[in-house]
Structure 1
Amino acid sequence: MVEVIDAQYGGILSSSASVLVPCRVYSISDGRVVTGGTTVDVRLSRSGDNWRVTSTHPANPGPAAASLSAVARQVLANKQILLPPASIADVRSGQVSESVLTAMLELAKTYRIGVSVIRSGHPLNVFGTDRPSDHPRGRAFDTWQIDGHAVVSPDTSRSLISSYMKASERVGSHNVGGPVVLSGAAFFSDQTHHDHVHAGFRS
């Protein structure tokens, strides 16, 4: 059985799009329920009013590191940080920046954060460009849910999203994207980021 956790844009243009789908997969092995999962980058193209899937790209987090930093272990143990399977594997791989991990821990002191994507399962480049994305380099994470409220939901308070975006900047993100337009060099908003909050880091 497959449980879709969320579906968010990895990028959208007039005739092409990337939709990132973190999911859990449940199976039976030796009479026991085994839980796994991945994040799939689903690519679509548009013809007239119709969109069709052209390819799918499952996450490839890589093997777990032989040892993890203290901050990585703290992130994995923190009940305020909800990670999908691919993001858990990202942290376990040791390839996520300490800046990202520390920022998540700081944000979790105030918010319960539902993370959708960290490193694997995200397009290698900023969608529609040749600029490398911070995600595959382990220098960004996306939040789809804040305190149990989906960012994309019209019922979610704009002030909650604004405060979370501002908090992301305060904990070190130089590139905070979301559905709310805020003043300041660190902030941006566009169609791709109407359904999640992106936080990118320089290192």
Structure 2
Amino acid sequence: MKRTAVDFLESALTVDVNDAAVPARERIPSELASDKAVDDLAPLLGNDSISTEVVYPQLGGLTQTKASIIALVDTQRFEKHQIVRTTRVLDLRLTRFDGNWRVTAVKSTGGDLKGSGPTQPTDSSEPSSELVAQVLADDNITLTDTSIQDLLDGDTDARVLEVVRDFARDHQLSVAVLRTGHPRDVFGTDRQSNHTRGKAVDIWKIDGKPVSYYAEQPADDNPARGLMEAALADGSDEVGGPWAFATRDGATFSNTVHQDHIHIGYEN
């Protein structure tokens, strides 16, 4: 299922300048994606050459026949005689037909980044607080341009940023998604996700290794489990990851979806 999502994005969003005039539908096998999914990517296409790599395909939700993939996408576009690199968070929806997965929609293309290049604070877009500025400036915290824009737009719960900042004092963290690029509702329900309420973060990599790697390692001295414990200690009441356990500060949850990232949220 993840391979289908990656193949779709990298084929649809890798275009030589000589092929820019060829409709995307003609470049993508119909068994890989629906017409709607191809059309949904139109905001990211243009007349310029573009090269795309999916950095990480994270599960955003899963049932027997439906799935969400939250894809961290690195694009390099040749614009005005220079290469412009942008990292976005996309929300893909897939449906299973006769045992095979197919991309049927792209619910988010990573938001409005206020321009084609990497998102950075400007005179008209200053960090909304000292805490946001600290997170943006922290070399131990890797953010996509989509997540940077989320921070600049405001409305991210301070507790989310504090737990990331505090754990990053001793570890390198890579953020998968804050708000934009995550399904609006908890997948398969009509309950709004704390991500889209600005009250959650997903971490996909710690100290240079993906959470899926740590999920296969012993829990003792495991930085991924350590992050889950730290989130509970910092007051998070919604911590998901590869392990379900309880401490004096609360309990975590685990399922198939949360084997490849750590979710830290605040319901209350």
Is the TM-score greater than 0.5? yes
Q: Is the 8 A contact 1:61 1:119 kept in 2?
A: no
Following the alignment from structure 1 to structure 2, what is the Cα–Cα distance between the partners of residues 200 and 6? 21
Equivalent residue, structure 2, for 1:124: 184
3-state SS in 1 of match to 2:189: coil
Equivalent residue, structure 1, for 2:11: none
Which consecutive aligned stretches of 4+ in structure 1 deviate over 3 angstroms post-superposition? 61-67, 154-159
Equivalent residue, structure 2, for 1:107: 167
Equivalent residue, structure 1, for 2:195: 135
1:76 counterpart letter in structure 2: L
2:92 counterpart letter in structure 1: V
- Per mean C-alpha deviation after superposition, the further-off stretch among 127-136 and 24-33 is 24-33
CA deviations on 1:85-113 (whole Å, 9 max, x unpaired) are 21111111112111111121111112211
Equivalent residue, structure 2, for 1:197: 262
Find 1:59's aligned residue among 92, 110, 113: 110
2:150 counterpart letter in structure 1: D
3-state SS in 2 of match to 1:152: helix
- Confirm whether residue 168 of structure 1 aligns to residue 218 of structure 2: no
3-state SS in 2 of match to 1:26: strand
Q: Is the 8 A contact 2:113 2:146 kept in 1?
A: no
Structure 1 pair 157/27, CA: closer, same or farther in 2 (3 Å)? Answer: farther
Q: Is the 8 A contact 1:42 1:55 kept in 2?
A: yes
CA deviations on 1:146-175 (whole Å, 9 max, x unpaired) are 111111126555432211210121223111
Find 2:152's aligned residue among 92, 110, 114: 92
Structure 1 pair 93/99, CA: closer, same or farther in 2 (3 Å)? Answer: same
CA deviations on 1:38-83 (whole Å, 9 max, x unpaired) are 2111101112311111101212257687442111011011011111
Structure 1 pair 97/74, CA: closer, same or farther in 2 (3 Å)? Answer: same
- Confirm whether residue 9 of structure 1 aligns to residue 51 of structure 2: no
Equivalent residue, structure 1, for 2:252: 187
Structure showing the higher strand proportion among its residues: 1
Q: Which 5+ residue runs of structure 1 have no aligned equivalent? A: none
Following the alignment from structure 2 to structure 1, what is the Cα–Cα distance between the partners of residues 72 and 53? 9
1:46 counterpart letter in structure 2: R
| Pairwise CA RMSD | 1.9
3-state SS in 1 of match to 2:192: coil
Report the alpha carbon displacement of residue 3 of structure 1 after superposing the two structures with TM. Answer: 2.4
2:81 counterpart letter in structure 1: G
Where does 1:58-77 land on structure 2 (aligned, <5 Å)? Answer: 58-60=109-111, 66-67=125-126, 68-77=128-137
Structure showing the higher helix proportion among its residues: 2
